[in-house]
Amino acid sequence: MRGARLLDRIQAETLRYFTTFAHPVSGMARERLGDPAFDPVVTTGGTGFGLMALIVGAERGFVARDAVIAQIARITHHLEASPRYRGAFPHWMDGTSGTTIAFSPHDDGGDIVETAFLMMGILTARQWLGAVDPGLAARLDALWRGVDWAGFCPRPEAMHWHWSPTRGFGRLALGGWHEALVTFLLAAGAPEHPIDPAAYHLGWKGSASFRNGQTYHRIRLPLGPEAGGPLFFAHYSFMGLDPRGLIEGGIDYFAQNRAQVRINLAHCRANPGGFAGYGPAWGLTACDGPDGYNAFSPTNDHGVIAPTGALASMPYLPGPALAAARHYASHRGGALWGACGFYDAFCDSRDWVAQSHLAIDQGPIVGMIENARSGLLWRLFMSAPEVRLGLDRLGFSSPWLGARDL
């Protein structure tokens, strides 16, 4: 199958997760498919990715534009009526009632990182809808303006992942290098309740686990954990945030992400664990595994490959990512194809294929492939003036600074 046709098929079938299998009442993204216990559970961050995937579907003609707008309206209505915590949404909620579902004993209120992923999708949708449905765009804007980003900072130089009225601030401060960069950019550029830039410069960048500088497989890695960590670090924030030419404090974020992906690919090709199938298959990230969900990486390798790992890395390594896509399409006689594109993961060494799909893995497949193909989501999200204000306030340089609004 030719590359463009295969990518069309992957995007269109993966999009079903956010259309056919969206929650029937709220229109939001279910946390996962394959476990009936999760049927009522919708995810805020995954819904942000889903909003972006829906826009891709409308622009590529995979789904009718009117149907996408109607689903965005349903999602907006549900969010407007659901509990918020200092303006932020919980990680999980009930897709019918909106009731908060605790993600963990210490995460029963607002989750500012998941809210940031949701707001990334909401701002992208607002920009897309501006001239088409200004009323709906204004409702999305009100959700965005309602987030109290500073309310998640117990001190100006520290931002915390969670806050709830029963437990206060969670134990997890936002520091180091992982998937949460877009949280700081949105929080810095917010028109209401912005954070002090010290939360980024001192709390995030100032932590001991932020910089790396070591070399793995002859590839220097500027930031993050040993050997780069799971690949979603290079995906989630960058669904909307364009890393091309994005520089701050001497850090080139496209180079950082590309280095992490190259190290992950080199590890899978070297295959120090001797796992079956590595080489044509690559990409270690968070996903289901035969022993449960895990954040797989070069330092936590159990022979489990998630298709999203390579596919969502297409903007960084298009050749190896497309080769992986072709491999997955025919691997095991087509057994990797499920109801919504590829199943979440597989492990050839244990003759195992997940029978599940996860929102946070499905969304980046659609969105990051599209960014590699057309830059659509980058163009929409980066057109938001608040995004560019956040970049400016935190000292970033980007080709988008100074660009005209849509």
Q: What residues contact residue 383 under an 8 Å CB cut-off, 6+ apart?
A: 127, 400, 403, 405, 406
How many CA atoms lie less than 13 Å away from 265 in the CB half-sphere?
A: 21
Q: pLDDT value at position 235? A: 98
pLDDT, residue 193, reads 97
Q: What is the full per-residue pLDDT of the chain (406 aa) written as tens digits?
A: 579 999 999 999 999 999 999 999 999 999 999 999 999 999 999 999 999 999 999 999 999 999 999 999 999 999 999 999 999 999 999 999 999 999 988 889 999 999 999 999 999 999 999 999 999 999 999 999 999 999 999 999 999 999 999 999 988 999 999 999 999 999 999 999 999 999 999 999 999 999 999 999 999 999 999 999 999 999 999 999 999 999 999 999 999 999 999 999 999 999 999 999 999 999 999 999 999 999 999 999 999 999 999 999 999 999 999 999 999 999 999 999 999 999 999 999 999 999 999 999 999 999 999 999 999 999 999 999 999 999 999 999 999 997 655 5
Torsional sign, CA 305, 311, 313, 317: positive
pLDDT tens column, 227-240: 999 999 999 999 99
Beta bridge partners of 168: 164
Distance of CA 254 to the CA centre of its chain: 16
Tokens read off for 100: 């908060």
Q: At what angle are helices 65-81 and 112-129 packed, to 10 degrees?
A: 140
Structural domain 3-394, CATH architecture: Alpha/alpha barrel (1.50)
Burial class from Cβ neighbours inside 10 Å (0-12, 13-18, 19+) for residue 142 reads: exposed
3-class SS of residue 164:
strand
Backbone phi and psi for residue 340, each to the nearest 5 degrees, phi listed first: -130, 60
pLDDT at position 402, please? 78
- Report domain extents, the chain: 3-394
SS3 state at 111: strand
Amino acid at site 256: Q
Q: Is 387 helix (H, G, I), strand (E, B) or coil?
A: helix
**CA distance linking residue 317 with residue 182, whole number of Å:** 22
CB 282 within 8 A of CB 303: no
Helix axes 134-145, 112-129, angle to 10 degrees: 160
Q: What is the pLDDT of residue 106?
A: 80
- d(C-alpha 236, C-alpha 250), whole Å: 22
E strands, 246-336, are 247-248, 251-252, 286-287, 294-295
Q: What is the structure's pLDDT at 403? A: 64
- Distance CA(74)–CA(116), nearest Å, equals 20
Separation CA 392–CA 394 (nearest Å): 5
